[in-house]
A and B are shown apart, each in its own frame.
Chain A
Amino acid sequence: MRKLLRARLTALAICITAALVLALSTAGAASAEGYGGYEICGSNCYIQSGGAHTFYFNEGASTGSPYLACQLFNSINANEVTHGYGYCVVYYGGGEYVWARVYNQSGKSHTVDGYAET
């Protein structure tokens, strides 16, 4: 009887440990999203991530050197923007859920790629 109880307790401990390890590894893992990759107009048209996440990094790239603006934002506390030539990168350290966008502000259509990371 005592042996059976000990075996059950051991199995339970293993299960709890495994669940904890899985939860911790999932929480610590960074996720990334590539978006866009198609042509957009140059009058402030943009590509956007598929959802809002705890993104801290967002970059945009295009052929040539058009004016690009990278943005991480939400409707509450975050609205970080960086403008660059043909490439831009913006960081947000607030840890909140934010959307990622890349704008083409060049006045001409360009193919624009975006990439955001948590």
Chain B
Amino acid sequence: MKIASRKNLLLAGALATALAVSGAGAYAAASSGTGAGPGEQAATVPPGPERQLRANGLNASEAKPLFTLANGERVGLVSNAATKCLVRSLAGRFAGETCATTAEIAEGHATTVGDECASTGRNLMEITGLAPEGVLSVRLISSDGTSRSTPVVSGAFKFDGTNPVADGPYPTGLEWVGSDASRVGTAGLPVDGDQFCLPTS
């Protein structure tokens, strides 16, 4: 009788754990489809590393490798039915993520700009992002009217470069290019004007 009770208790515990885990997953999936902004969505889980991934029920270790940036960071892709995440790592250590829903990607809100601005550094600038469905390449438009292109790999793209010099040309936006090499859309960059590097005082 006692053994049977313990078994029942164990079964009930396992069932409760399974329900809690599946409930958490369902909550993450539901919250990712509510149309909330990236910050609001991240706020559904405690702050800290891999917050966007955690908010979407995704794991950095499952990212499929895509490309390596000039600053040495490796970029991979992990996704579920609602969200895609670009995952960056450096020397095997997690170094950031950019997550977006299909709607956010279509709006061009899945782009990240990284600047290494220290005077002792290489002054590298990395632009990475996710392109909308059907986009085969991306053009980076500069304030002086010039542009350069990069192919889209598994829905993702990257531009390696250096930070704009003072009073020099700077990137202003992106153009999505389709199969017939024509422009199928545009997107901005998450930077206001030429505020790429920021002050240290």
Contact = CB atoms under 8 A, between A and B. Distances in A.
A interacts with B: yes
Interface string B54-96: 0000000000000000000000000000000000001101011
Interface in A75-118: 75-91, 93, 101, 103, 105-107, 113, 115, 117
Interface stretch (A4-12, A15-23, A55-63): A55-63
B200 interface: yes
Given A44-B195, A67-B191, A81 B115 contact: yes
Given A59-B47, A65-B109, A78-B118, A86 B40 contact: yes
Contacts of B40: 61, 63-64, 86
A30 B192 CA distance: 34
Interface centre among B42, B98, B198 (most CB of A within 10 A): B198
A83 B189 contact: yes
Contacts of B175: none
B201 interface: yes
Given A44-B192, A71-B198, A115-B47, A82 B114 contact: yes
A31 interface: no
Contacts of A75: 200-201
Contacts of A44: 192, 195, 198
Interface string B105-117: 0000111111111
Contacts of A84: 38, 98, 112-113, 190
Nearest to A112: B39
Nearest to A94: B118
Interface string A35-75: 00000000010000000000001011111110111010111
Given A77-B120, A87-B39, A89-B96, A69 B112 contact: no
A91 B96 contact: yes
Contact of B192 (A57, A64, A105): A105
Contacts of A32: 47-48
B199 to A, nearest CB: 8
Interface size class of B (residues with CB under 8 A): 35 or more
A56 to B, nearest CB: 9
B159 interface: no
Contacts of A61: 38-40, 42-43, 47
B37 interface: yes
Given A57-B48, A117-B49, A86 B37 contact: yes
Q: Nearest 6 A-B pairs (CB), nearest first? A: A61-B39, A115-B47, A87-B38, A105-B192, A79-B117, A86-B39
Given A75-B201, A86-B39, 6 more contacts: A44-B192, A59-B51, A75-B200, A77-B118, A81-B196, A87-B42
25 contacts: A44-B198, A61-B47, A65-B109, A67-B190, A74-B200, A77-B121, A80-B115, A80-B117, A80-B118, A81-B196, A81-B197, A82-B113, A83-B115, A83-B189, A84-B38, A85-B37, A86-B109, A87-B52, A93-B91, A93-B93, A101-B198, A105-B190, A113-B39, A113-B43, A117-B49
